Amino acid sequence: MSTPTKFLLDESKMPTHWYNIQADLPKPAPAVLHPGTLQPVGPDDLAPLFPMELILQEVSTEREIPIPEPVREVFRLWRPSPLFRAHRLEKLLGTPAKIYYKYEGVSPAGSHKPNTAVPQAWYNAQAGIKKLTTETGAGQWGSSLAFAGALFGIDVTVFQVRVSYDQKPYRRALMETYGARCIASPSNETNSGRAILEKNPNHPGSLGIAISEAVEIAATHDDTKYALGSVLNHVLMHQTIIGQEAIAQLEMAGDDPDVIVGCTGGGSNFAGIAFPFIGQQLRGGKKRRIVAVEPAACPSLTRGKYAYDFGDTGHLTPLTKMHTLGSTFTPPGFHAGGLRYHGMAPLVSHLKELGLIEAVAYHQTQCFQAGVSFARAEGIVPAPEANHAVLGAIEEAMRCKREGKAETILFNLCGHGHFDMSAYISYASGQLVDQPYDESELAMALAGLPSVPA
Amino acid sequence: MSTPTKFLLDESKMPTHWYNIQADLPKPAPAVLHPGTLQPVGPDDLAPLFPMELILQEVSTEREIPIPEPVREVFRLWRPSPLFRAHRLEKLLGTPAKIYYKYEGVSPAGSHKPNTAVPQAWYNAQAGIKKLTTETGAGQWGSSLAFAGALFGIDVTVFQVRVSYDQKPYRRALMETYGARCIASPSNETNSGRAILEKNPNHPGSLGIAISEAVEIAATHDDTKYALGSVLNHVLMHQTIIGQEAIAQLEMAGDDPDVIVGCTGGGSNFAGIAFPFIGQQLRGGKKRRIVAVEPAACPSLTRGKYAYDFGDTGHLTPLTKMHTLGSTFTPPGFHAGGLRYHGMAPLVSHLKELGLIEAVAYHQTQCFQAGVSFARAEGIVPAPEANHAVLGAIEEAMRCKREGKAETILFNLCGHGHFDMSAYISYASGQLVDQPYDESELAMALAGLPSVPA
């Protein structure tokens, strides 16, 4: 083929700043509230959990925030990540569309998560912190923070949702290989965990519960802080290195996307690819379609309520306004563990309310079908989460085929599926089914949202 | 740090030719013999198994053989692969040595194996072949050929050593995701397999047995050919793209290696990194130390006999002169499944006899210790096979430290360990032990070598 397959940026072209979309918003996102006073939280409220540099990033409205050189030095292990033109997939689909994908699976942990794990670990190390706690579902985030902790001499403790802890021993082994301690959640190590276990000793766990446990440890130990892998403003901002690189790489390709697709759980990989492009538009640039793809079994953007809610099940976090299924909602046990969260990042939710992004929801069997087609055409086996973005991109490409349009589609392939092959085994054997959520449970969870006066 | 971490070649700099070391040998390697006549085999003898283009490559003495453009087009999915300077590992070791590693785990299958799987599948497709059989141990090779088959519309059947088939369902799932059929070996599908199962229905299998099964199917079916992932001359030559890229990348780095390290099972990744450098030396260039690292539990280069032997247990292959432990030797079940082969590639064996390479053997616990240190410093979790090269490089770096020498060390990190985390679990839990081979079994296997007059 005459046109290149991949577009690599030189290390010297790696972005030097994160892009902060808060600088360009037509109106600011609603304030984060203290659950007791219902007043906006200040930096001091968050200080038990995060180092001050990250708290300042959380509320900053500076457009560009410099990436510290020691963080960029680590990023050079895998960044700039490659951008691929999916020639073989285009041919398979017979579409006039051009499909590009940014591939974040080249990181040591196999996903986009180290983009924020490394700076979070570094800022904590700079603040003299020696211990970090966090939660993880499938393990993408936990293994990323474990990796980052190993680099900066920080002890990392990961509360992993029990069902994943039991089903995915290899992700746990990866965390332990990097030197982290991994605990099945709910656990007996926290009040939040014990309260759950008292009611149900065999509770399978959830991200909301694991967050409560990790936050509790950090809040009650002076030498320990907490790290979150998605949802928060500064976490999403750390991921914007993805979209910034993609902009430079598409310039190399002489192309400009019409549609940008990402999968959404907490919202971080989606924000990473999309925010720099949305920023261009907000500053008067090209208007593009931005499509968030979420699991039909946990559809916060398409079926949730835009309301103030807690980030965790134990109600230890502040209240944020977001698309939520309710903090007590337990999604079915589908395979994209990284998308099994009841809420959506406040910034992503705000953009949805502003009409700047679209959202669709797909069931997992469709997503795996798309992922297998992608693997056979392009070689890379996507993570179950990334399969949602693959299907979203394929749907757009097929629309282009029907409409005879040669649009340019960009999607974020946020991670590989090497640690998720049990899901592919289920799919291949026909045992993978679509599990709808329980409508009455959703109704109950939404009815239980905290009451916050407008 | 002031010096870069990784060195990336542009796609346009990807090698256009394979390097054939047979052009530069001071004396040619011994002929391959027909086991019945003990006369050198000709192309026609090999025609039932391989397409003619590959047979011609096997015996060619041309120095450069062009890489077909459709093969290079596939290579662009991951090639040129990155070369890394291991800054963090150097610091950890406190060595004055510079350590570089070429990383082949960026391929879709996670190792160097697609470098030969893709051209082998392509040459077969060009010859009109619709079906390929092969064997695999841990699954690196099987998944690579499955990937290559998917690209060129070839049905791939993989005979996987039963113990790996049972212990590593995720590698099998990867092969099946690419569309291949995977059969536990010994199986009831071949005479060779049935003969083994009659004696022992629970036989754990071996690479030698799986080769017999795959060869038998190809030899008895007109529409089917066979593909081998290592050992043969053309397979080693396909891997020389690794060393050629490394030469260009080290030039970018302004460096020149004094020591080159690779792990050896059949010999292909070692040949890939080493042969282009040895070729420079044979043509009057710099003399370097070239170190092959093999498992102490299957030490063909350090403990085997340089003699004519079969490549398989069922004695269906021609006889090649190589360092061998005897085709009936069954190595202990250590975790580096890709290194569990009784023989060594004839070309690597020949270079050893010519004094152009060195060999050392290490036990697996030492190798895993090195691998965990590497993962915590550099992020990448190596495959158990690659851990041998990691340890070899660390040993050289520590020697440099003792001797106060700032030598430059290059090693080949031939694959990642994402599908081998059960081995890391064993290591972390202290259950991984060093399994010496059975001395009396080795003696018996060597006593049973075929008698070939000098």
Tokens 């529409």, residue? B223
Across the range A343-358, mean pLDDT stands at 98
The torsion region of residue B355 among left (phi > 0), alpha (psi -120 to 50) and beta comes to: left
State yes or no: pLDDT of A149 exceeds 50: yes
Which pLDDT belongs to residue B1?
Answer: 46
CA distance B52 to chain A (A): 26
With CB atoms and an 8 Å threshold, state whether A77 touches B422: no
Query: pLDDT tens across B351-360, in order?
Result: 999 999 999 9
With CB atoms and an 8 Å threshold, state whether A422 touches B173: yes
Walk across the sheet containing B155-161 and list its strands.
B181-185, B155-161, B131-136, B224-226
Q: pLDDT category, B375, cuts 50, 70, 90?
A: very high
Contact status, residue A295 vs residue A362, Cβ threshold 8 Å: yes
What is the C-alpha separation between B107 and B119, in angstroms, rounded?
14
Across the range B224-231, mean pLDDT stands at 96
State yes or no: pLDDT of A224 exceeds 70: yes
Contacts of B372 in chain A (CB under 8 A): 177
Query: pLDDT tens across A313-329, in order?
Result: 889 899 999 999 999 88
With CB atoms and an 8 Å threshold, state whether B8 touches A6: no
State yes or no: pLDDT of B175 exceeds 90: yes
Task: Identify the bridge partners of residue A98 per DSSP, sorted by sequence position.
Answer: A408
CA B61-B66-B71 angle, to 5 degrees, is: 130
Enter the ipTM.
0.92
Phi/psi for A48 (5° steps) reads: -65, -25
Please write down the HEC assignment for all residues of chain B.
Answer: CCCCCEECCCHHHCCCEEECHHHCCCCCCCCCECCCCCCECCHHHHCCCCCHHHHHHHHCCCCEEECCHHHHHHHCCCCCCCEEECHHHHHHHCCCCEEEEEECCCCCCCECCHHHHHHHHHHHHHCCCCEEEEEECCCHHHHHHHHHHHHHCCEEEEEEEHHHHHHCHHHHHHHHHCCCEEEEECCCCCHHHHHHHHHCCCCCCCHHHHHHHHHHHHHHCCCEEECCCCCCHHHHHHCHHHHHHHHHHHHHCCCCCCEEEEECCCCHHHHHHHHHHHHHHHCCCCCCEEEEEEECCCCHHHHCEEEEEECCCCCCCCEEEEEECCCCCCCCCCCCHHHCCCECCHHHHHHHHCCCCEEEEECHHHHHHHHHHHHHHHCCCECHHHHHHHHHHHHHHHHHHHHCCCCEEEEEECEECCCCHHHHHHHHCCCCCCCCCCHHHHHHHHHCCCCCCC
Q: How many Cα atoms are found within 13 Å in the side-chain-facing hemisphere of A56?
A: 7
With CB atoms and an 8 Å threshold, state whether B173 touches A379: no
* Closest by CA position to B185, among listed B193, B174, B177, B175: B193
Contact status, residue A266 vs residue A301, Cβ threshold 8 Å: no
Q: pLDDT category, B3, cuts 50, 70, 90?
A: confident
With CB atoms and an 8 Å threshold, state whether A77 touches B106: no
Pick B178's closest partner by Cβ from A1, A174, A376: A376
Which of A239-253, B101-115, B264-278, B432-446 has the weakest average pLDDT?
Answer: B432-446
Between strands A6-7 and A83-85, the pairing is antiparallel
Query: pLDDT tens across A43-99, in order?
Result: 999 999 999 999 999 999 999 999 999 999 999 999 999 999 999 999 999 999 999
Contacts of B375 in chain A (CB under 8 A): 108, 150, 177-178
* Closest by CA position to B409, among listed B293, B265, B239, B267: B293
Between residues A412 and A340, the one the model is more confident about: A412
With CB atoms and an 8 Å threshold, state whether B379 touches A176: no
Residue A299's alpha-carbon distances to A286, A358, A366, A420, B86, in angstroms, are 29, 13, 15, 22, 43
- As a whole number, the mean pLDDT across chain A is 95
State yes or no: pLDDT of A311 exceeds 90: yes
Residue count (chain B): 454
Which pLDDT belongs to residue B2?
Answer: 55
Contacts of B430 in chain A (CB under 8 A): none
What is the C-alpha separation between B404 and B386, in angstroms, rounded?
27
A149 to chain B: nearest residue by CA? B376
* Closest by CA position to B102, among listed B230, B236, B234, B263: B263
Query: pLDDT tens across A228-249, in order?
Result: 999 999 999 999 999 999 999 9
Neighbours of B167 (CB within 10 A): 16
Tokens 């260009």, residue? B248
Task: Identify the bridge partners of residue B64 per DSSP, sorted by sequence position.
Answer: B19
CA distance A426 to chain B (A): 10
B374 to chain A: nearest residue by CA? A178
State yes or no: pLDDT of B453 exceeds 90: no
Which pLDDT belongs to residue A3?
Answer: 74
The torsion region of residue A110 among left (phi > 0), alpha (psi -120 to 50) and beta comes to: left
* CB of B3 less than 8 A from some CB of A: no
Per-residue buried b or exposed e for A111-124, using 16+ beta carbons within 10 Å of the residue's own CB: bbbbbbbbbbbbbb
Q: B13, B77, B249, B427: which to substitute to probe chain A, counting the most A Cβ within 10 Å?
A: B77
Q: pLDDT category, A1, cuts 50, 70, 90?
A: very low
Contacts of B150 in chain A (CB under 8 A): 375-377
With CB atoms and an 8 Å threshold, state whether B381 touches A174: yes
Contact status, residue B314 vs residue B212, Cβ threshold 8 Å: yes
Q: A12, A245, A249, A381: which to substitute to probe chain B, counting the most B Cβ within 10 Å?
A: A381
* Domains, chain B, with CATH or none: 68-110+234-439 (3.40.50.1100)
Walk across the sheet containing A181-185 and list its strands.
A181-185, A155-161, A131-136, A224-226
* Closest by CA position to B325, among listed B314, B338, B310, B315: B310
Interface of A with B in 175-234 (CB under 8 A): 176-179
Q: pLDDT category, A2, cuts 50, 70, 90?
A: low
What is the C-alpha separation between B300 and B304, in angstroms, rounded?
4
Contact status, residue A295 vs residue A262, Cβ threshold 8 Å: no
Tokens in use for A275?
């925010």
Interface of B with A in 150-179 (CB under 8 A): 150-151, 169-170, 173-174, 176-179
User: Which residues, in sequence order, are CB contacts of A261 under 8 Å at separation 6+?
Assistant: A291, A293, A389, A392, A393, A396, A409, A410, A411, A412
Query: pLDDT tens across B231-272, in order?
Result: 999 999 999 999 999 999 999 999 999 999 999 999 999 999
Across the range A436-454, mean pLDDT stands at 92
State yes or no: pLDDT of B70 exceeds 50: yes
Contacts of B110 in chain A (CB under 8 A): 418
The torsion region of residue A58 among left (phi > 0), alpha (psi -120 to 50) and beta comes to: alpha
Across the range A428-441, mean pLDDT stands at 92
% of chain A residues with pLDDT over 70: 100
Which pLDDT belongs to residue B54?
Answer: 98
Pick A376's closest partner by Cβ from B109, B179, B421: B179
